[in-house]
Amino acid sequence: MPLTGIDALAFAGPASYLEMTDLARARNVDPSKYLVGLGQRRMAIATPCEDTVTMAVEAGSKALDNFDIDPGEIGTLIVGTETGVDHSKPVAVYVHELLGLDQRCRTFETKHACYGAMAGLTASMDWIASGRARGRKALVIASDIARYGLNTAGEPTQGAGAVAMAVSDTPRLLAIDPARIGDYTRQVMDFWRPLYSKYAFADGHYSIECYLDALVGARLDAIGECSELLESLTACLYHVPFVKMAFKAHQRQMEIELGTQITREQAARWQALDDSYQRLTAPWLSLNADIGNIYTGSLFLALIDLLRQADNAFAGREVSLFSYGSGCGATYCIGTISEGADQWRDALDPSEHLSTRRQLNIDEYEALVLETDNADRQEKLEPSSFGLKDGLFYVGTRDHCRQYQRF
């Protein structure tokens, strides 16, 4: 079985963001609830000209350019998203054209809430392992805009962005062990978005329980009843709808290894939990805290955060990854950081983009939400009116066909 895994990684996201403190003040909420209770600092806000397609293309082209991959090397393109732009036509086929990929490319979209990109990643690994790839790479892109609506409990857990990853049999960043991949599926109504709604509905507290149950199930399928995994790892990465969720997930992994669940009060006094969380998870959550929930890409955003801090001592070290998609489906797997991965730190670091984002005030944010609601039917949208300059943008729909233009 060839060694397969992640060969390139890149993030792209909207040019604007909202400070969580501004949102908290506008909603008459103590800012500590968002900053400490949820662990979020900022959230990326998409304008009407930035959609799932434009973010996917920007992330995809960065992954190809920054890692010297010729578009002709891509034989499979998968876009994982739960916020596509059409009920029928896949985001992936727009992305295929806009990235200039070869026509001899298998191209499709995967939807399973936040799980779509992990489904794409494991399907790409299977495609390579089966021999069908014939030396080519796959490009898997997670792209989403998390929208819950104004004044809802989910509002502080919004965000937007895309992560692109090339998958190959010579992974320069992370090899994934095919013998330690575990899956979990259960029909639950924890988070969903009916066809008629742009906004997600969530049974928020129940969704947290479903996430934690899925973690237990997928981990069991991946590694059985092992009680000493965490000690051997360098990082535990999770799907991060909000930063505090990663803490809850890490607590559950510690409980699994301890063989018992503990109360909230006990958790607060459990020094080993805090030590383990500070060593294995907290250092890689800074991008998630600054960008918010990007659904399919949020686990891989934590991976970018880890790899942008990796030095050569990280080579050969093992990392766990947990992807959760409401509804629900999940995968738990173990990856090994590649020799030389640290050479790519600058190539995958999105700091420059984040430092040039524009801060929105609450009125601008609320106005954008309303404008985005109507954007699908607008005939002409002007990116400069949203402060956008260089890049690929959605510029309106003519004869029911979406139009994209590079500026």
Catalytic residue set: 82, 114, 239
Q: How far is the CB of 359 from ligand CAA (least distance, A)?
A: 22
- From the list 6-14, 123-131, 135-143, 235-243, the region that binds ligand CAA by CB under 6 A is 235-243
Return the beta strands (E) in 84-224 as ranges: 106-110, 137-146, 159-168, 174-185, 191-192, 201-202
Contacts of 126 (CB under 8 A, 6+ apart): none
How far, in Å, CA of 159 to CA of 46, rounded?
8
Exposed, middle or buried, 24 (CB in 10 Å: 0-12/13-18/19+)?
Answer: middle
Task: Please say which residue, 138 or 299, places its beta carbon nearer to ligand CAA.
Answer: 299
Instruction: State which residue has the least CB distance to ligand CAA.
Output: 37
Nearest to ligand CAA of 11, 295 (CB atom): 295
Whichever of 159 and 383 has its CB closer to ligand CAA, that residue is 159
Return the residue of 1, 25, 30, 268 that touches ligand CAA, per CB under 6 A. Answer: 30
According to the binding rule CB under 6 A, does residue 184 interact with ligand CAA? Answer: no
Return the range that interacts with ligand CAA (CB under 6 A); candidates 163-171, 239-247, 250-258, 388-396: 239-247
Q: Judged by CB, which is closer to ligand CAA: 213, or 366?
A: 213
| Of positions 48, 60, 75, 154, contacts ligand CAA by CB under 6 A | 154
Cα 107 off chain centre by: 20
Q: How far is CA 280 from the centre of its chain?
A: 19
CB of 392 to ligand CAA, least distance (A): 26
Report whether 34 contacts 23 (CB < 8 A): yes
- The answer to whether 286 contacts ligand CAA (rule: CB under 6 A) is no
CB 299 → ligand CAA: shortest distance, Å? 10
For residue 405 the two structure tokens come to 């233009």
Of 188 and 315, CB closest to ligand CAA = 188
Regarding 324 and contact with ligand CAA (CB under 6 A), the answer is yes
Which position among 5, 13, 161, 241 is part of the footprint of ligand CAA (CB under 6 A)?
241
Sites for ligand CAA among residues 102-131 (CB under 6 A): 114
Q: Is 268 in the site for ligand CAA (CB under 6 A)?
A: no
Distance of alpha carbon 55 from alpha carbon 332, whole angstroms: 26
Tell me how far apart the alpha carbons of residues 379 and 403 are, in angstroms, rounded to a whole number.
Answer: 9
Q: How far is the CB of 207 from ligand CAA (least distance, A)?
A: 4
Phi and psi at 143, nearest 5°, equal -145, 125
Q: Which of 203, 181, 179 is nearest to 192 (CA)?
A: 203
Q: Which residues pair with 331 in a beta bridge?
A: 183, 323
Closest CA to 13 of 241, 297, 283, 240: 297
Residue 355 neighbours by CB distance under 10 Å = 7
Beta bridge pairs of residue 292:
159
| Binding track over 34-73 against ligand CAA, x by CB under 6 A | --xxx-----------------------------------
Q: Which residues bind ligand CAA (CB under 6 A)?
A: 30, 32-33, 36-38, 114, 153-154, 156-157, 190-191, 202, 204-205, 207-208, 211, 239, 241-242, 244-245, 293, 295, 324, 326
